[in-house]
Amino acid sequence: MWARNLLFIAVCIAGLLAIGDQLLRRNRIDRPADFEPGRFAAAATPSPSPGDIGQTLARLNSEFRRYWQAKQLDIAPRADDLTIARRLSLALTGTVPSVEEIRALENVSADERLEWWTSHLLEDRRHSDYLAERLARAYVGNEMGPFIVFRRGRFERWLSDQIEANTPYDEVVRRMISERGVWTGKPAANFITATSDPTKDNQPDEVRLAGRTARAFLGMRIDCLQCHDDKLGNVNLGYGSDSHSGTQADFHQLAAFFGPTSVSLVGVHDGGKPYETKYLDAEKEEVVPPQVPFAGELIESYASRREQLARWVTHPSNKPFARAAVNRFWALMFGRPLVEPIDDIPLESDAYPPGFQLLADDFTASGFDVRRLLRLIAASEPFTRDSRADFQITAAHEDAWAAFPLTRLRPEQVAGSLIQASSLSTLNGEAHVVLRIAMFGQTNEFVRRYGDLGEDEFTDRSGTIPQRLLMMNGELVKERTAENPVLNATTRIAMLSTRPEKQVEVSYLATLTRRPTEAELAHFVSRLQDTDGGDGDRRTRQEALEDLYWTLINSTEFSWNH
Amino acid sequence: MTIDPACHSPDHYSRRTILRAAGLSGMCWLTPLAERLARAADRSPQGAPAKSVIVLYMEGGPSQLETFDPHPGREISHAVTKAIKTRAPDVLISNWLPQIAEHMDRISLVRAVVSKEGDHERAAYNIKTGFRPDPTLVHPSLGAIVCHQTKDNVEIPRHVAILPGPWAPRGGYLGDQFDAFKTFDPSGPIPDVTAPVHKMRAAKRLDDLQNVVETEFARRRLKGLDAKTLHATSIAAARKMMSSDQLKAFNVSSATDSVKKEFGDTPFGRSCLAAVQLIEVGVRCVEVTLSGWDTHADNESLVQGRCEVLDPAFAALIEQLQERNLLDATIVLWGGEFGRTPTVNAVGGRDHWPQGFTIALAGGGIQGGRVLGETSPTPKLNENKPLEDIRDHCYVEDIHATVLHALGIDFAQEVITPIGRPMALSKGKVLEKLLA
């Protein structure tokens, strides 16, 4: 009898050791398919081919260096690999890296790590899902939208598929503007039906579509022209001698491209009536002809007005299109756009920020290759600067990207990081379905309470009291730090290693993606050893680890990008 | 497509240009200019009777015909609809609100409110902010404006939403710190205000956080880190709240049984009682939501059910505010995002109707027993001329202007938004007839 019991215990211990081995040591992560260590190296060769990505990166960096020099700003040093890995992971997947991923990354040779890590993240389905959710806010807003004719889930899945396949960005946008058919079978059509007005038989709203098209795809806010002409020269349309202040007609003629668009049981189609409006001071409504507000020479004949508009918006010579995209992807990477506000980029300016036009030109020349753009930003000097330096960092350094700007993480990034940090292995598409469902439900509830930022997502924000209460005392933090060998890292760490130094290190890696400093290590090791607090407050090692986790999760470092 | 009347002024452009040149950016409420604006707000009309607001938000859009604007015996009404006399001479309301009828001498009705939003989410935004949704800007809700314009020494959040639906009031461009603090059925203590571990362990955790981890993070980083993140500041405020005696105001369990009974044994009733307790300890704005008014089918019985919850709670709210000498300083605002159609559809429901619906106001200097505006008992329902069926109409923003004015807030003042565009707090007109 005893022998059987002993055998059972031995099997359990062996099982735990096997899991521990898998979680803490073994590299379960495959080499990314697109991993190309010499990607940016060609620029160093005597005659790099035109359009070479290494050459673009070199020019991008030199534009920034000249800019910093002209402003006489000190430049923060390069951040360490793990800090950059955390930034990239937050930007591309919305969570911090897992301990498992950190270990795999550290096995790659130092000069290839950034390339390996970027490739690893870009190939993860978490990336396309996360980016699709973020981009959808700009394309269809954050509102629940009209019931039945609008399917956000379908739209986001479609967008995620496009990102995963790296479909050229111009094609994605063309599909959104010009798609026909039912919103379920042709998910891009939800761009149109998101504006359907339930009080008007679900017909799409041309005015909202015109405003949305200008903001999301051209980076231009012309919404105010809906009501009146711009008499003060703030909305300038047209180039060079054609430049003029925006007029009400500019807005409504753009809206007129969506005039014939209708929604019925057969989906979105183009058989409706032409667009009519009543201009300010006019007596009655009039039919408005479709006309683009600038660069009219780029308009070509196509089957439908929407197709015509889609081709014009995405025309390689229509510069605002690539600029708007660069500004948005930059913002997704840094938490702050290059040109602020994100969708109010002047049509012509001699004061664009460094790298802006260069990235836009490269994006156009590459056939609107989103992955290439993301890789360029990830490898650039601004993205790899530290947010620490030996000189005093001021707002001026952050504004000029001479130090990495601190930005508050979005609620879903905090929730995702919190759940990821409480697990040692990666919670991606391959994670157990029960874990993923739990993660989905907990994320939604947390985001609701933390405060969803909606569509307006790149404004400067500070922390709030309800957020602190939620992090200090809330259920999710309590659940995710409490004793639970299946779900929680604290229990696993306590089970798998008895050395306090190791336990502190793994806790830091899982939450803050770094190792503790010497002072921190010494402090927390003594906390873990001294479980009899000297004041009669006896804690178990498990409790001491929970306290450590709580402390790390409640830090500025955890809820800010840095 | 018609022109949006909420955006009729091009003059913000000139100021926008000037301010941009002045280099204002995201943290503009911390700039000297914003400080001057705040000081100007301190000097705003003193002696205004109202200090705080309770918003009773009827999510879904309540039918005006079965609540405060009945037309019994008319074609537009259900056969069972009856009107009853109230304490206000000549003011009739639905017989499903008998307890409120006893307080109508303190409540006034605006019966022809008009908006341009017929979708729940957009209309909810409109009713809470006084502005139509603008894709480039999030406007602050009424409570956020009140908190932004006043200073108090209260240990708990001054802007509270009880039983909020998906569109809880926000701080918008004034900042997230003015978002409503969301809480649910006040039958027990509120969540997240008790440390999950023993006091001594909690103190150690905080000590390690501030003295070890935060110190390390701040080293060699941005000058004035906490001014940007407000991390330590909000932790301090959260701790102050956690230990505050004022937290009791969120919990109605210690109220006497007779008071609890007055409000009705429902989450909404309890929330109205909590609202009174919160106002009593100095909270500036409480919004209480009663959902279930979206009666596209079976309007008659659904509205009757809602009225059974609303009637005792609203009446007790007025009564308790009066008893505690708070009514003169507290505005009570009742309404939904829109009303319901005068016609009844094939399944006995009423659909969305933003073209003449009722909002009720009481307290805080609002005169009681008055009725502004009128809806036709025999509407023509000409789609192109909806205003023909109503008299003396007003807009949603006029309700906002009136409430802000009663609170002594200069609502026409322009506040600088984070994108450098000045915005008036409200673009409405004061409904003087409610105040004089």
Q: Tell me the ipTM for this assembly.
A: 0.87
Interface contact flag, B205 A554, Cβ < 8 Å: yes
Please state which of the ranges A363-377, B133-147, B281-295, B308-322 shows the lowest mean pLDDT: B133-147
Rounded average pLDDT over A38-52: 76
Predicted pLDDT at A49: 73
Q: What percent of chain B has pLDDT over 70?
A: 89
Residue A325 lies in a domain: no
Range of the domain at A258: 125-313
Please state which of the ranges A154-163, A351-360, B18-27, B206-215 shows the lowest mean pLDDT: B18-27
Q: pLDDT tier at A201 (50, 70, 90 boundaries)?
A: confident
Residue A372 CB neighbours (<10 A):
19
Instruction: Measure in Å the smallest separation between the Cα of B101 and chain A Cα atoms.
Output: 33
Task: Please indicate whether residue A260 or residue A460 has the higher confidence score (pLDDT).
Answer: A260
Predicted pLDDT at B30: 37
Q: Which of B234, B250, B427 to mutate to test the interface with A (most CBs of A within 10 A)?
A: B234
Interface contact flag, A394 B222, Cβ < 8 Å: yes
Q: pLDDT tier at A411 (50, 70, 90 boundaries)?
A: confident
3-class secondary structure for A202-248?
CECCHHHHHHHHHHHHHCCCCHHHHCCCCCCCCCEECCHHHCEECCH
The SS3 call for residue B321 is: helix
**Contacts A462 to B, Cβ<8 Å:** 175-177, 228-230, 234
- Please determine, for residue A441, whether its predicted confidence score (pLDDT) is greater than 80: no
Kindly tell me the burial class for residue B346, based on how many C-beta atoms sit within 10 Å of its own C-beta (0-12, 13-18, 19 or more).
exposed
- Please determine, for residue A28, whether its predicted confidence score (pLDDT) is greater than 90: no
Interface contact flag, A234 B201, Cβ < 8 Å: no
Q: pLDDT tier at B138 (50, 70, 90 boundaries)?
A: confident
A166 dihedral zone (left: phi>0; alpha: psi -120 to 50; beta): left
CA A165/CA A163 separation, integer angstroms: 5
CA A381/CA A377 separation, integer angstroms: 8
CA B200/CA A472 separation, integer angstroms: 15
Task: Please indicate whether residue B45 or residue A497 has the higher confidence score (pLDDT).
Answer: A497
Rounded average pLDDT over B91-105: 98
Which phi and psi angles does A30 have, rounded to 5°?
-75, 160
Q: What angle do CA A185, A188, A190 make, to 5 degrees?
A: 90
The SS3 call for residue B56 is: strand
Residue A412's closest CA among A54, A14, A131?
Answer: A131
- Candidates B2, B214, B216; nearest CB to A278: B2
Correct CATH for B12-190+251-435 of 3.30.2130.30, 3.90.1150.10, 3.30.530.20, 3.40.720.10: 3.40.720.10
Residue A16 lies in a domain: no
- Please determine, for residue A299, whether its predicted confidence score (pLDDT) is greater than 70: yes
Question: How far, CA to CA in Å, does A93 sit from each of A335, A439, A446?
Answer: 13, 14, 18
Count of CA atoms in the C-beta half-sphere (13 A) of A50: 2
Tell me the residue type at A104.
A
Predicted pLDDT at B186: 94
CA A245/CA A233 separation, integer angstroms: 5
Residue A301 CB neighbours (<10 A):
7
Instruction: Measure in Å the smallest separation between the Cα of B295 and chain A Cα atoms.
Output: 15
Which phi and psi angles does A11 have, rounded to 5°?
-65, -40
Chain B interface includes A465 (CB < 8 A): yes
**Contacts B230 to A, Cβ<8 Å:** 462-464
Q: pLDDT tier at B26 (50, 70, 90 boundaries)?
A: very low
Question: How far, CA to CA in Å, does B369 sit from each of B172, B317, B376?
Answer: 34, 17, 20
Interface contact flag, A388 B219, Cβ < 8 Å: yes
Helix (H) or strand (E) holding A415: helix A411-421
Instruction: Measure in Å the smallest separation between the Cα of B315 and chain A Cα atoms.
Output: 31
Structure tokens at A525: 């090791």
Interface contact flag, A343 B13, Cβ < 8 Å: no
Predicted pLDDT at A452: 66
Mean of all residue pLDDT scores within chain A = 89
Predicted pLDDT at B304: 97
Q: What percent of chain B has pLDDT over 90?
A: 71
Q: Which chain A residues in 135-194 lie under 8 Å from chain B, judged by CB atoms?
A: 141, 143-144, 146
Domain boundary among A259, A278, A313: A313
DSSP helix, strand, coil percent of chain B (3-state; round to 5): 35, 15, 45
Rounded average pLDDT over A48-57: 86
Are A125 and A164 contacting, i.e. CB atoms less than 8 angstroms apart?
yes
Chain B residue whose CA is closest to A554: B209
Predicted pLDDT at A18: 64
CA B377/CA B75 separation, integer angstroms: 8
Chain B interface includes A77 (CB < 8 A): no
Q: Which of B117, B120, B228, B294 to mutate to test the interface with A (most CBs of A within 10 A)?
A: B228
Domain boundary among A262, A293, A313: A313
Q: How many helices (H) and strands (E) does chain B have?
A: 14, 17
- Candidates B196, B214, B216; nearest CB to A473: B196
Rounded average pLDDT over B172-192: 88
**Contacts B194 to A, Cβ<8 Å:** 473
Predicted pLDDT at A82: 98
Domain boundary among A291, A313, A335: A313
- Please determine, for residue B92, whether its predicted confidence score (pLDDT) is greater than 80: yes
- Please determine, for residue A89, whether its predicted confidence score (pLDDT) is greater than 90: yes
Instruction: Measure in Å the smallest separation between the Cα of B183 and chain A Cα atoms.
Output: 10
Predicted pLDDT at B25: 35
Instruction: Measure in Å the smallest separation between the Cα of B120 and chain A Cα atoms.
Output: 10
Chain B residue whose CA is closest to A286: B1
Tell me the residue type at B335.
G
Predicted pLDDT at A282: 85
Rounded average pLDDT over A305-323: 97
Q: pLDDT tier at A171 (50, 70, 90 boundaries)?
A: very high
Rounded average pLDDT over A314-340: 96
- Candidates B2, B138, B235; nearest CB to A468: B235
Domain locations in chain B as residue ranges:
12-190+251-435, 200-247
Structure tokens at A329: 């992807």
Total number of residues shown for chain B: 436
Predicted pLDDT at A347: 93
Instruction: Measure in Å the smallest separation between the Cα of A299 and chain B Cα atoms.
Output: 25
Interface contact flag, B242 A517, Cβ < 8 Å: no
Are A270 and A306 contacting, i.e. CB atoms less than 8 angstroms apart?
yes
Residue A291 lies in a domain: yes
Predicted pLDDT at B190: 86
Q: What's the pLDDT tens digit per position in A202-250?
A: 899 999 999 999 999 999 988 878 878 886 667 889 888 888 899 999 9
**Contacts B157 to A, Cβ<8 Å:** 465-466
Number of domains in chain A: 2
Predicted pLDDT at B5: 36
Are A92 and A334 contacting, i.e. CB atoms less than 8 angstroms apart?
no
Q: pLDDT tier at A340 (50, 70, 90 boundaries)?
A: confident
